[in-house]
């Protein structure tokens, strides 16, 4: 299970004054939870952006706030619409003894033999799942093995997944994850030549229809 640690400090500055902090390379955020009142925090923008880059939604983040550590999940990242730079982050504080519900990425493993055999197309239905478990049991990703998809029409559904008995999948068991479909047929227009009597065009009819 992936886990990183970020350092933060309590933040007293709020409102429009936060803009000045951003200009100084600081990143505002908030941490909240079932047993924790919302707390405004401040982090280093460069360090936080680097550590959170490509982070899975189910990755645990330990926040060290003035020496006190909290186990969290990133719940929301706000970005500047032009530059794409992170402008604010929400963290959800977790309890090691309470189950949580969150999303976990699906990761494809192996190659479907039908792709090589039939030049088939692999259609993806889901790229993440809703799960419930204790934080310590939260998987970073759930792997889906494609090596058994040998024929057109073969597919994998949520009900086919094998996960730890400590992880409960909440997504509809009949939801499709991947499906092998036939290659797209190229439409070829062919003109048929009619053999036999020559086509007779009545002049009068032709003139009548030419209006």
How confident is the model at residue 2, as a pLDDT? Answer: 59
**Cα–Cα distance for residue pair 5/9, rounded to 1 Å:** 13
How confident is the model at residue 137, as a pLDDT? Answer: 95
For residue 5, list its beta bridge partners.
62
Residue 68 · residue 78 · CB < 8 Å? no
How confident is the model at residue 190, as a pLDDT? Answer: 38
How confident is the model at residue 14, as a pLDDT? Answer: 80
Tell me which residues of the chain have a pLDDT lower than 50: 185-194, 200-211
**Cα–Cα distance for residue pair 190/184, rounded to 1 Å:** 18
For residue 207, what are its two tokens? 């003139």
DSSP labels for 135-161? GGG--SEEEEE-TT--STT-EEEGGG-
For the chain, which domains are there? 3-95 (2.40.240.10), 101-181 (2.170.120.20)
Residue 149 · residue 125 · CB < 8 Å? no
Residue (of 68, 22, 12, 67) closest to 48 by Cα position: 22
């Amino acid at each position: 299970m992936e886990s990183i640690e970020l350092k933060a400090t309590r933040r007293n500055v709020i409102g429009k004054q936060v803009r000045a902090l951003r200009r100084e390379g600081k990143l505002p955020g908030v941490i909240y939870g079932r047993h924790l009142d919302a707390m405004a925090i401040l982090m280093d923008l460069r360090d936080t952006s680097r550590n959170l880059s490509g982070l899975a939604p189910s990755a645990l983040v330990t926040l060290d706030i003035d020496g006190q550590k909290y186990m969290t999940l990133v719940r929301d990242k706000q970005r500047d619409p032009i530059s794409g730079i992170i402008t604010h982050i929400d963290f959800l504080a977790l309890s090691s003894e309470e189950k949580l519900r969150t999303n976990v990425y699906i990761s494809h493993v192996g190659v479907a033999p039908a792709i090589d055999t039939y030049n088939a197309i692999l259609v993806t239905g889901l790229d993440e799942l809703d799960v419930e478990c204790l934080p310590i049991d939260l998987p970073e990703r759930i792997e889906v093995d494609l090596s058994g998809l040998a024929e057109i029409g073969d597919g994998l559904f949520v009900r086919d997944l094998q996960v730890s008995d400590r992880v409960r999948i909440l997504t509809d068991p009949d939801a499709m994850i991947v499906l092998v479909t036939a290659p797209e047929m190229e439409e070829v227009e062919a003109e048929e030549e009619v053999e036999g009597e020559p086509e007779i065009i009545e002049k009068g009819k032709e003139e009548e229809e030419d209006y």
